[in-house]
Structure 1
């Protein structure tokens, strides 16, 4: 270990260490731009090692510029300045430059032609798209018109449905009134079933009914029957009923009450109703017959 100032100066490591110990990096004040301070020799050595490694990597990388790009004007001027002195060599270099320029011009023209073709294709596609959009717009307008028409039709249908429901209610009411009026017009009628049928006139039918009524009542008025005739056309295989209109409702009720006296014969008596009333009474009779125990019943009203 050196003990003198000269020895310290002749030993760079010790001098550097002495310098660092004497002047801390955070306390060093100097306007020298090239002064490079490190906190200790170890950090200084690491920094120098990294710089050296980076330099070796840059040297090993070679030419990393894969696509230098087009020749700039400054490069062309440099090439012109570096032309050889011989005219023949100058002509060769100029010919090479012209050939390169022509190739670049041809390539630029091709690129421009391709660009123009692409632009035309884009314009054609855009025009086609605009045409299709126009057709779609027309179809949408037509659909919108139809939708509006359907909305109006739906509103009309709603009002029409309301009118139909009202008319249906009125029709049902009128039909019930007509059925009631028809039943009122038939209230003096009775149907006689089981009387032998033949091709006969209404007078003969009335005479047969009077003979049946004579067995029910001891005294029979002369004008008790207003009219009597067969229903439907004559058929040898069927016995048509005889509908009888009596002169009053009381006589009709008396005959209907005495029909039990005809059980010994094949003749039966029933009331005359409208088709709607007959259908309703048929359902009521079927309902009564299906009841458990099969109770006896009698229909008095519809």
Structure 2
């Protein structure tokens, strides 16, 4: 009986091309049978994803590869590089889009700043700043302004001034300027037209410009005076302004691409 079982096992292994293993067993007809495993593996066509290709990372392994495996490896590497290049190009497109958007936002913000300064200037065009009037405690600014206009500028009667007050914090030994608001813009222009009578005195009358315009005028005023001396016969203020702008453009550094 044992001899017959042995012959059947030998025939089974021969016909099915299996090896006998000792670990895993199955019982059939009361005897112990070992799990069979395939002895010979069928040759698989190379697809570029076998273990030899995947583990070939060093130069020596690469040199030992066959030509087909080398080409497959290079093809896979080129695909990886191509995907990375595509990702970089997509990022570059996004960065360019963001830069364009930021540039447009900066332009809009600058335009809003200019409009804000222009609006503030228009709101202040009825205001005048008068400097040099002595300051006293508990003074009446309306009385001082009417007296100043009558005595210094020979303007009588005093135009309607709904509001006037000192600017800044009180300090001993100093006279703060007085800001006045004229009800009619024509009164503002009339007072400014008589300001030439204050030449040679310590009194000054100026428009109430916003801070940005005041800073710009401080920068441009020396150039304006110099150009006025160079062109004494010029009666058009715009001509001098254009000359200043032209010089500013020439002195700015050339933009390089």
So what's the TM-score if we normalise by structure 2?
Answer: 0.53
- Contact 2:149/2:156, CA 8 A, preserved across alignment: no
Alignment correspondent of 1:245: 181
Alignment correspondent of 1:89: none
Alignment correspondent of 2:40: none
Unaligned 5+ segments in structure 2 are: 1-51, 62-73, 242-257
Say how many residue pairs are matched.
Answer: 173
How many Å separate the matches in 2 of 1:279 and 1:200?
A: 32
Alignment correspondent of 1:220: 157
One of 188, 191, 203 as aligned partner of 1:267? 203
| Bigger fraction of residues in strand | 2
Alignment correspondent of 1:43: none
* Pair 1:245–1:145, CA change in 2 (3 A): farther
Deviation at 1:197, TM superposition (A): 3.1
One of 209, 212, 216 as aligned partner of 1:276? 212
Deviations 1:245-296 (A, max 9, x none): 1111111111111112223542111112222332333333221233484555
Alignment of 1:138-287 (within 5 A): 149-200=87-138, 204-215=140-151, 216-221=153-158, 224-236=160-172, 238-263=174-199, 265-287=201-223
- Contact 1:199/1:234, CA 8 A, preserved across alignment: no
Deviation at 1:212, TM superposition (A): 0.5
Deviation at 1:148, TM superposition (A): 5.1
Alignment correspondent of 2:56: 130
Unaligned 5+ segments in structure 1 are: 1-125
How many Å separate the matches in 1 of 2:166 and 2:88?
A: 57
- Contact 1:198/1:234, CA 8 A, preserved across alignment: no
Structure 1: 4+ residue segments shifted above 6 A: 139-146
Alignment of 1:13-162 (within 5 A): 130=56, 132=58, 149-162=87-100
Deviation at 1:214, TM superposition (A): 1.5
Alignment correspondent of 2:41: none
Alignment correspondent of 2:48: none
Deviation at 1:154, TM superposition (A): 2.2
TM-align CA RMSD: 3.9
SS at the partner of 1:266?
A: coil
So what's the TM-score if we normalise by structure 1?
Answer: 0.46
* Pair 1:250–1:293, CA change in 2 (3 A): closer
- Contact 1:288/1:294, CA 8 A, preserved across alignment: no
Deviations 1:3-37 (A, max 9, x none): xxxxxxxxxxxxxxxxxxxxxxxxxxxxxxxxxxx
* Pair 1:266–1:293, CA change in 2 (3 A): closer
Larger radius of gyration between Structure 1 and Structure 2: 1
| Bigger fraction of residues in helix | 1
Alignment correspondent of 2:9: none
SS at the partner of 1:236?
A: coil
Deviation at 1:195, TM superposition (A): 1.6
Deviation at 1:146, TM superposition (A): 6.7
- Contact 1:225/1:247, CA 8 A, preserved across alignment: yes
SS at the partner of 2:148?
A: helix
Deviation at 1:240, TM superposition (A): 2.1
